[in-house]
């Protein structure tokens, strides 16, 4: 199949923010668009909002005036009887299963026999929505992200009975509209809302252990992990009511899988009405005059002039380069045994190592070095402005200050955390990789679809599969095993695909 021709009529049911945005996207791609809503005034508001957005783009030089006029002219109000002309109808009504199911069943009585019906649901089962219709094979999930005119991703979701032809047509059409489409089977959370759960869930668990303040954790995730926002500031932006509801929905839909357990602390925020930016307070205080929370930084004291690098730091080797560029003498010593591939830096009397999912205190006891300081995973150690650190309980404060002062010479702002297994960035990334591996293992979607979805849907700097390829599945397998041993339970169970070390960019390893 191929994308729908530009003269194919597109119907959009629901003239709210999502419906209006979807209608604008289709009209901008050249299609005649029919917009319907139970409230006639909603259509007028939608067209006014579309016109305002188009004019804004014209004013910024991003769109020609004649193109804006043509786009608006292609967007017209319609009645129910007009839908027989449509090749594709996208419903964008409220997120209510019974309402959507009833609408889809009614639509199939009024559209042509080749018309595809797409449901813009973010979490409801496409299979369930299509179940009441006579032709479930023509019902496809088409999940746009808000705002549809600016967010690149569209998830194309197939229910149990969705035909491959219908799904392919919707996929190709979304791509023709300038979107990045990703396909998946109908499953709780689809791709983005399922894969992203650890980004929030692990942050809540680390906060519950009092490892650091939300501002410090956000700064480490942002600066070290390369994410555009930290988990707590992002939840404040989304709204804790919305974020909690999605987590709760995935948890319930997976029959209480502990990996998706909602946070009691977030539930309390919702109960208190502290929903984030929209209510004035969430994790942070957005009220006028409120002080802005700042991350903790340890400047340290007494930096050393000479550092000993034992073995290989692997992906963290740029730390050595940055210290050398700062004028610090680095003496390299060839490691033996485990140090050959998991080396460390001797800074004064302290040993600095990359976390592997074990708490620093336990690792110090197991490896026989009291003054152990672990550092967190980073997207790019050559460029990161910050390092998250966790000292072992046996490590004296003077040793930590020396480590921080020395790293500061290399341009690292050091943000200490209390000793927590896996710190914060590694915890999140390991669980994202694990979640992605399960999605591939269970045939929900492909590895490429996951990385595309997470990059274009929530602006991750690197998809989980790309992280796995960059850092290595063996490393993440060890991290997950260490987390499970430390915490017990099923939350950190390792995906069968990681245990097999078995994926490629296209799916399973041959």
- The residues that are catalytic are 122, 143, 155, 193
Contacts of 183 (CB under 8 A, 6+ apart): 155, 156, 157, 158, 167, 171, 445, 446, 449
CA distance 296 to 1: 55
Contacts of 395 (CB under 8 A, 6+ apart): 350, 360, 364, 370, 371, 372, 373
Let me know: does 133 contact 108? Beta carbons within 8 Å. Answer: yes
Contacts of 202 (CB under 8 A, 6+ apart): 424, 427, 428, 431
- Measured CA distances, 336 to 310, 339, 340, 471 (Å): 9, 5, 5, 21
The two structure tokens encoding residue 159: 């229910």
CA distance 436 to 440: 6
Collapse the DSSP code of 471 into the 3-class scheme (helix H, G, I; strand E, B; otherwise coil) and give the result: helix
CA 342 to chain CA centroid, nearest Å: 29
The two structure tokens encoding residue 47: 């067209």
Q: Are strands 350-354 and 344-347 parallel, antiparallel or unpaired?
A: antiparallel
Q: Which residues pair with 414 in a beta bridge?
A: 387
Collapse the DSSP code of 330 into the 3-class scheme (helix H, G, I; strand E, B; otherwise coil) and give the result: strand
CA distance 51 to 49: 5
Q: What is the DSSP string of 243-264?
A: HHHHHHHHHHHTTS-GGGPPPH
The two structure tokens encoding residue 50: 């579309």
Burial label, 36 (beta-carbon count in 10 A; 0-12, 13-18, 19+):
buried
Helix or strand holding residue 221 (H, E): helix 214-223
CA distance 185 to 188: 10
CA distance 344 to 311: 7
CA 240 to chain CA centroid, nearest Å: 16
Collapse the DSSP code of 207 into the 3-class scheme (helix H, G, I; strand E, B; otherwise coil) and give the result: helix
Let me know: does 76 contact 33? Beta carbons within 8 Å. Answer: yes
CA gyration radius for the chain?
26
- Compute, in degrees rounded to 10, the torsion defined by CA atoms 29, 459, 475, 340: 110
Let me know: does 149 contact 50? Beta carbons within 8 Å. Answer: no
């Amino acid at each position: 199949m191929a994308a729908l021709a530009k003269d194919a009529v597109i119907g959009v049911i629901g003239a709210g923010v999502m419906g209006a945005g979807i209608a604008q996207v289709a009209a901008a791609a050249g299609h005649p668009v029919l917009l319907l809503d139970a409230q006639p005034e909603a259509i007028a508001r939608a067209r006014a909002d579309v016109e305002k957005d188009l004019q804004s783009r014209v004013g910024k030089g991003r769109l020609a005036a004649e193109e804006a006029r043509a786009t608006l002219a292609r967007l017209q109000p319609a009645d129910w009887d007009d839908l027989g002309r449509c090749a594709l109808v996208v419903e964008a009504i409220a997120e209510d299963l019974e309402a959507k199911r009833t609408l889809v069943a009614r639509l199939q009585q009024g559209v042509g026999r080749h018309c595809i019906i797409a449901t813009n649901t973010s979490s409801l089962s496409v299979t369930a929505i299509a179940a009441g219709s006579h032709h479930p094979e023509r019902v496809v999930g088409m999940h746009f992200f808000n705002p549809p005119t600016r967010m690149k991703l569209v998830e194309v979701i197939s229910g149990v009975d969705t035909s491959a032809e219908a799904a392919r047509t919707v996929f190709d059409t979304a791509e023709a509209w300038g979107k990045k489409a990703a396909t998946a089977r109908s499953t709780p959370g689809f791709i983005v809302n399922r894969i992203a759960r650890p980004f929030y869930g692990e942050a809540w668990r680390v906060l519950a252990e009092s490892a650091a303040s939300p501002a410090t954790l956000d700064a480490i995730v942002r600066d070290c992990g390369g994410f555009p926002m930290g988990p707590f500031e992002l939840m404040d932006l989304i709204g804790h009511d919305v974020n909690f509801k999605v987590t709760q929905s995935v948890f319930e839909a997976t029959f209480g899988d502990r990996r998706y357990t909602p946070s009691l602390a977030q539930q309390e925020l919702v109960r208190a009405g502290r929903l984030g930016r929209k209510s004035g307070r969430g994790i942070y205080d957005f009220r006028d005059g409120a002080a802005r929370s700042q991350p903790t930084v340890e400047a340290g004291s007494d930096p050393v002039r000479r550092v000993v690098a034992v073995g290989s730091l692997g992906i963290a080797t740029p730390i050595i380069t940055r210290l050398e560029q700062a004028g610090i003498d680095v003496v390299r010593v060839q490691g033996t045994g485990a140090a050959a591939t998991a080396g460390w830096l001797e800074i004064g009397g302290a040993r600095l190592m990359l976390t592997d999912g074990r708490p620093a205190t336990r690792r110090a006891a197991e490896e026989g070095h009291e003054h152990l300081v672990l550092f967190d995973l980073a997207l790019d150690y050559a460029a990161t402005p910050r390092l998250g650190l966790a000292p072992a309980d046996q490590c004296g404060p003077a040793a930590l200050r020396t480590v921080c002062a020395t790293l500061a010479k290399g341009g690292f702002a050091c943000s200490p955390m209390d000793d927590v297994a896996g710190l914060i960035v590694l915890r999140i990334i390991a669980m994202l990789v694990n979640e992605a591996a399960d999605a591939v293992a269970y045939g929900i979607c492909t590895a490429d679809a996951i990385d595309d979805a997470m990059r274009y849907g929530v602006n991750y700097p690197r998809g989980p599969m790309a992280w796995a390829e960059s850092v290595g599945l063996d490393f993440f397998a060890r991290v997950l095993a260490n987390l499970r041993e430390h915490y017990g339970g099923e939350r950190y169970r390792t995906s069968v695909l990681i245990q097999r070390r078995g994926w490629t960019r296209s799916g399973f390893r041959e």
